[in-house]
Amino acid sequence: MRFFQVFAHRGGDFKRKKILPNSLRAFEDSYAIGADGVETDICFSQDREPIICHPGLLSPDPPQLTWTEIRRRYPFVPHFNDLLDYLARRPFLSCFLDLKINSEELVEKICNNILETRLADKIFLTTPKKRVRAAGLTADGKLLKFAQKYSQAKSNGRGRIKTHVIDIWPVNMAKTAEKFEPDVISFGWL
């Protein structure tokens, strides 16, 4: 009996196998080696399409491009709907979806899609407890509270959005749990 789960950060073993992070191929590699889930990043393209991408890692940066431009320049960058389709085909794979921008509009879009596809039991929205702008972390636990409230109002029996908050020190977990009511708390640096 296992008492833990293994989640692959952005999927796959990138350097050794030369697999691009946050790609469906990276997620498939993680699934193939027995990971229980993947952690991946989500933000908006310039034309407000939800994309699976960590801002600032490519040049030009996908959030500065339209979805059509991203598809042409970076065919490995999935749209959020591509990730949902992938997860629907992998019944035992879960996902921590790291919100890389502080946007209620993004949360609304992804909550609606998660609920429509009935994948709420497999996906956890993730943010650090606090913003750390110097490290590029602009979303925080308040966005998770918004997701919980929004999804409760929109679910219509299709499940509820799960949340995961990252706290830096384990001594704060009780306060973090009380304040944000997440399904999962992890501690440490991202």
How would you class 34 by CB atoms within 10 Å of its CB: exposed for 0-12, middle for 13-18, buried for 19 or more?
exposed
- Residue 7 is classified by DSSP as E
Looking at residue 70, what is its pLDDT? 98
CB 107 within 8 A of CB 99: yes
Does the model's pTM come out above 0.85? yes
Whats the size of the chain, residue-wise?
Answer: 190
What is the Cβ-side half-sphere exposure of residue 149, based on CA atoms within 13 angstroms?
Answer: 8
At 69-98, the pLDDT tens digits run 999 999 999 999 999 999 999 989 999 999
Q: Which residues contact 172 (CB under 8 A, 6 or more apart)?
A: 129
What is the Cβ-side half-sphere exposure of residue 23, based on CA atoms within 13 angstroms?
Answer: 15
At 90-132, the pLDDT tens digits run 989 999 999 999 999 999 999 999 999 999 999 999 998 887 7
Residue 27, Cβ neighbours under 10 Å: how many?
A: 28
CB 126 within 8 A of CB 106: no
CB 164 within 8 A of CB 150: no
At 115-174, the pLDDT tens digits run 999 999 999 999 988 877 666 667 888 999 999 999 988 888 778 899 999 888 778 788
